[in-house]
Structure 1
Amino acid sequence: MQIVTPEFGLIFWQLVIFLTVLFLLAKFAWKPILLSLKEREDSIESALRMADQAKLEMQQLKAGNEKLLTDARIERDKMMQEASQMANQLVETAKNKATEEGSRMIMQAREAIQNEKNAALTEVKNTAAKLSIDIAERILRRELADSSSQQQLVDSYLKDVKLN
């Protein structure tokens, strides 16, 4: 049982050693330890403040980037719309030009056809007149070969003239 129950001397020396170690630690070790803990606490607090500040800056940058992206999208949409309008305008202009050119070519073709038609009609009339004169000349030569036929023809023409 002596091992379990300490004697007064053991307790006394343990107390003296404990108080000596406590005094030495208080005199030499506590201040540097507390100082380093305080420095560590300050550096952690400073790092947390810097992290919060960096977080705010990141949020501001992110908001700025979102605004830039939105502006860029709006500008892109505007440019696309302008390009589309210009393309539509060019297509419309080309269509109008092609229609005008086609109309002009059709008009020229119609004029050419009309001119050719008139020339052909004139040629047909000239040919018909020439043939009529040739036929009339042949008929008159045959019919007017004798003088009695000539007299009958003149009499018939005179009757026709008096009636009209």
Structure 2
Amino acid sequence: MNFTAPESLIFWTTIIFIVFFFLLKKFAWKPILGAVKSREESINNALESAEKAKLEMQNLQADNEKLLQEARAEREVMLKEAREMKNNMIESAKSEAQTQANKMIVQAQTAIESEKKAAIAELKSQVAGISLEIAEKVMRTELSNNDKQLQLVETMLAEKSLN
């Protein structure tokens, strides 16, 4: 084989390339492919993990939202109960105050009535005393004269005998 310089260069380049290709295939190709495949699997695993984490986050957000809604509902119930308790306490205090006021009014009316009766009894007593004094004075003046005394006794006897 008689090769010229450019042909021999192509020949030896091809031979070197083939030898280099077989060496790469035997020693480097499997580890490179293994590394690429391992890298691809780790990327896929990372993507799956990210997707799972995303789903978990969505579930957690939904759970958090549900908990917030339940807490709001519970707060509303508690506020409603507190308002009802406040209103009940106010109504109870009003009715108690009204009851006390009514008792005080009844007691005051009873006291006024008893004071009124006492005043009327005292007034009657004073009027009776004054009337007796007046009658006594009138009788003294009437009975101071003998003729008038005899006339009064006869009139009383006449009235008594007619009845």
TM-score bracket for the superposition, by shorter chain length: 0.7 to 0.9
Deviation at 1:37, TM superposition (A): 0.7
Q: How does 1:20-99 map to 2 (within 5 A)?
A: 20-99=19-98
Equivalence for 1:117: 116
Query: Relative to 1, partners in 2 of residues 1:132 and 1:13: Cα closer, same or farther, differing over 3 Å?
Result: same
Q: Which amino acid aligns with 2:139?
A: L
Q: Say if 2:143 is the partner of 1:144.
A: yes
CA distance in 2, matches of 1:42, 1:95: 78
CA distance in 1, matches of 2:10, 2:57: 62
Deviations 1:81-117 (A, max 9, x none): 1222222122212211111111011101110111011
Equivalence for 1:131: 130
Deviations 1:57-77 (A, max 9, x none): 222222222222222222221
Deviations 1:11-59 (A, max 9, x none): 4444444333333222211211110110010011011111111211222
Secondary structure at 1:61's aligned position in 2? helix
Deviation at 1:160, TM superposition (A): 8.8
CA distance in 2, matches of 1:86, 1:156: 86
Query: Relative to 1, partners in 2 of residues 1:18 and 1:153: Cα closer, same or farther, differing over 3 Å?
Result: farther
Q: Which amino acid aligns with 1:103?
A: N
How much is the aligned-residue C-alpha RMSD, in angstroms? 2.7
Query: Relative to 1, partners in 2 of residues 1:129 and 1:13: Cα closer, same or farther, differing over 3 Å?
Result: same
TM-score between the two structures when normalised by the length of structure 2: 0.82
Gaps of 5+ in 2: none
Secondary structure at 2:144's aligned position in 1? coil
TM-score between the two structures when normalised by the length of structure 1: 0.81
Query: Relative to 1, partners in 2 of residues 1:160 and 1:13: Cα closer, same or farther, differing over 3 Å?
Result: farther
Identity %: 49
Q: Which amino acid aligns with 2:79?
A: M
**Number of aligned positions between the proteins:** 159
Q: Say if 2:125 is the partner of 1:100.
A: no
Which sits farther off after the overlay, 70-79 or 102-111?
A: 70-79
CA distance in 2, matches of 1:117, 1:37: 117
Equivalence for 1:3: none
